[in-house]
Amino acid sequence: VAIVVEALKAVLAAKPAQEIFVFGQADTQLGPDVGDYLAFINAVTGKINDYLAATAPERQVIIAMLAYNGTFVPPMTGSFFRGSNAKSAVLFAPVGGRHNSAYSDADNRQKNTSTGAFDTETIAQRLTEWASLPGATVLCWFYGTDYFNYLMPFDTLTAMQANVRLARAAGNEMLFYQLQTFASSTVGSDWQRLKLYLASKLAEDADADVGQLTEDFCKAYFGVAADVMRQLLETERTNLYRNRNASGNGDWYGLVNGSALLLNANCFTLSDLGGYMRSIDAAKALVNAAVTAGELTDGQGGELLRRIDIESLTFRYLLIAVHGNTKYDESMEAFRAFSRGLGVVAFGETVANQ
């Protein structure tokens, strides 16, 4: 504890505006005994509380443990430290859940990504148990992309509101959605910007009208092509849920490591993908017509075309990867180059697009 406390003091000095600090295990490890983990976090937090009370009494920080994989199930007993300047917390990260459905669904149980074993309780039940420990401060880390393959469709929009409400009911004090990031860039496909927008709005008001928010976003982000792009979003989601069982691996949909099992022509038909790209072409035609008519400047039109092209990347990727179709990109390398031109520097958490 003493070694960690001294190291954390240096971090506190280097990051005077940071409020939350998290101690977690590596992705591939089971983690420590969860009771020992909580006791350790409490001990560190208590020492830091005393340090801040003496040196920076105006500063408030949260020091959290990570409920993740092997440390996902809370201890039978225990409590969290709360001091005048520092309090301990749990960062709840259900990485092994089905992120396309509500965490309260009866079959939505955490799958340990290290062992493959499923939990005996739902994700919602585990969150409630953590929140019920005396003095608990809850932070939530939810998932909005398959970080193994950013280009695969990964619908977290359908269940986003239900899961944000669940976090609110647990007294959540921070909501973080893991989306497509790489080397400080957040430019990504699969409705990345819409997911960011909805997550931020629901964090402010979990009861907001998601349909209206989606419409507002499309109008502001896609301009004259808003209606076409909104319809594309709905059509893609409808087809995905229709086709996923035909893939032979429908049960894997929504798991962050399940996309590879859905990468086939039954789940993503050539007819569907062609229809999506016709919608993309129609959206771009509307923008070009508005530029020609003087309703948009060349710069405004160019930015809208870029946004539409970014949303086409998932479909263009699937056309090549699943069907070998080269109507839009003559090769995978050409597709990579086109993506880089749009600012997309990664196709996965550790997969650079270079």
DSSP code string of 238-289: HHHHHHTGGGT-GGGTTSTT-GGGG-STTTS-HHHHHHHHHHHHHHHHHHHH
Q: Provide block-wise average pLDDT over 10 residues at a time, the chain (354 residues).
A: 97 97 81 93 98 98 95 94 98 92 93 83 97 97 90 91 97 91 80 95 97 98 98 94 74 70 88 98 98 98 98 97 96 96 91 86
- The reported pLDDT for the residue numbered 284 is 98
At 252 the pLDDT is 62
Q: What is the pLDDT of residue 250?
A: 61
**Checking DSSP bridges between strand 109-111 and strand 118-122, what pairing results, if any?**
antiparallel
Q: Which helix (H) or strand (E) holds 91?
A: strand 86-92
pLDDT for position 248 = 67
Angle between helices 210-222 and 157-169 (to 10 degrees): 130
Question: First and final CA of the chain: distance in angstroms?
Answer: 42
**Which residues face 21 on adjacent strands?**
63
User: Which secondary-structure segment (H or E) carries 66?
Assistant: strand 61-67
